[in-house]
Chains A and B, each alone.
Chain A
Amino acid sequence: MGHTKSKWTAGQLAFFDGSTYETVEPFSPVILYDDFLGTALNGDIWTGLDLNSATLTAPAASICAASIGAVNENAAAGVYGKDDKAWNVDKGLIFECRMTPAVAPTLTTEIGFGVMNDSYGAGSMRFMLADEVAKYAFFGFYTTSGSGLVPIIRTDDGTNDSGIISTATTVVAGTYNIYRIDFSDPTNVLFFIDGAAVATSTTFDMSTGANLMVQPWAVVYKASDATTSAAGTINVDYIRMWQATR
Chain B
Amino acid sequence: MSDEQDIILADLSDEELTLQMHDDLYDGMKDEIEESVNILLSRGWLPYDVLTKALVEGMRIVGIDFRDGILFVPEVLLAANAMKGGMAILKPLLAETGAPRLGNMVIGTVKGDIHDIGKNLVTMMMEGAGFEVKDLGINNPVENYLEELESGEYDILGMSALLTTTMPYMKVVIDTMIEKGMRDDYVVLVGGAPLNEEFGKAIGADAYCRDAAVAVETAKEYMAKKHNQLGA
Partners in one complex: no
